Amino acid sequence: MNIAIFIISLAIIVLLHELGHFIAGKYFKVKVEEFGIGFPPRILKLKHKETIYSINSIPLGGFVKFSGEENPNDPQSLESKPAYQRFIIIAVGPLINLVLAIILFSSIYMIPRDAIHGNITINSVVENSPAESAGILPGDIITLINDEKIKTPYQVEYLLNYHQNNYLNWEVARGNENLPIQLKPIYDSTQKKYIAGINLEIVDPYKVSISYNPLQAIQKGTSTMVDFLIMTKNEISSAITGTKPLVVAGPIGMAQAYQELNTQNNFSLKQKILFTINLMAIINLTLAIFNFLPIPALDGGRLFFILIEMIRGGKKISIITERLIHVAGFFTLIMIAIIISWADLMRIFNGESIL
């Protein structure tokens, strides 16, 4: 049941992406030959005016088929339209995913939730760890990390993994003193995360209810989205330098993460809902990024060729050349998808967790 919900959610995300192309195409009077839910073979079709609306047997999104995508002589074809109109028609799809990502990230902050705050105290320090080298002692209370007030252990773990192998400026309370400390976390391959080498406890805990109004939520959601992009950049940088392996997951891996979360007995229903919203926001953001990058066979590749055309004053690259580049890109993407899917399957068969 959980996997079915994930597949339906993923299909809706892709469908909304395609719906953006469809609406923009109709607005600029491009003939849409078919708008499909799912991928062929067809189960059901209905023709209204010039467009076939179909339901297909593979429920993984949808597609839009424009008339004469490579035929500039047909006045209703996509290729016959001015460059700026074609650019808008193609860009609207990933733009919808970007807007959905902001909406979903923001909605997380509008849902009231309880949290336990308190004095985040060092219970113990691991020998030969970054924390010991920095001079942190048991009993120290973490008050600030990079000017952020620390009220939960989660904040500490998040900031360690956000900044990765970069120095962080800590402030700890020791007795009547507030001491500045610089600490550089290390990657622990067993725990698969960056650590400081400390065990934490919450002293004098108290419950708080957290929620934000829509404007605040949009600001927090946008900030979270930017943080995710920075963390992704840091993950890639760490993989290039050999600090930690790059973990890449495709749809199978995402489905595994969703399934693992929903089988956790110590997570409340609200926590599972928040995780699901967060995962869908990440998927939307990832789709937007990949479809804005100049990758052949994706929207970004098509946008790149249109930009070249506009820069050259309307002179297009030959249809054959562009088609060959997109075909080569398509088969490259298929190969990458197969490799990622195989890695996802091996992780599942080996009983490894993705969370």
Contacts for 36 with CB less than 8 Å, ≥ 6 apart: 42, 53, 54, 55, 56, 62, 63, 64, 65
Averaged pLDDT, 272-285: 89
Q: Is the pLDDT of residue 40 over 70?
A: yes
Q: Where are the domains of the chain?
A: 113-210
Q: Is the pLDDT of residue 277 over 60?
A: yes
Q: To the nearest whole number, what is the mean pLDDT of the chain? A: 88
Cis before 41 (ω within 30):
yes
Q: Is the pLDDT of residue 70 over 70?
A: no
Fold of 113-210: Pdz3 Domain (2.30.42)
pLDDT of 97 reads: 95
pLDDT of 244 reads: 74
Averaged pLDDT, 294-315: 92
Averaged pLDDT, 296-302: 91
Kindly indicate the confidence band of residue 41, based on its pLDDT and cuts at 50, 70 and 90.
confident
Dihedral of CA 260/266/269/274: which sign? negative
Report CA Rg, the chain: 25
pLDDT of 318 reads: 86
pLDDT of 300 reads: 93
Query: How does pLDDT run across 21-35, given as a tens digit for each residue?
Result: 999 999 999 999 999
Dist CA 27 CA 44 (whole Å)? 26
Positions annotated as catalytic residues are 18
Query: How does pLDDT run across 176-232, given as a tens digit for each residue?
Result: 999 999 999 999 988 888 999 999 999 999 999 888 999 999 999 999 999 888 888
Rounded to two decimals, the pTM is 0.83
* CA–CA distances in Å: residue 340 to residues 162, 183, 247, 278: 24, 35, 10, 22
Q: Is the pLDDT of residue 1 over 60?
A: no
Query: How does pLDDT run across 305-346, given as a tens digit for each residue?
Result: 999 999 998 888 888 898 899 999 888 988 988 898 898 888
Kindly indicate the confidence band of residue 245, based on its pLDDT and cuts at 50, 70 and 90.
confident
Query: How does pLDDT run across 220-242, given as a tens digit for each residue?
Result: 999 999 988 888 888 888 777 77
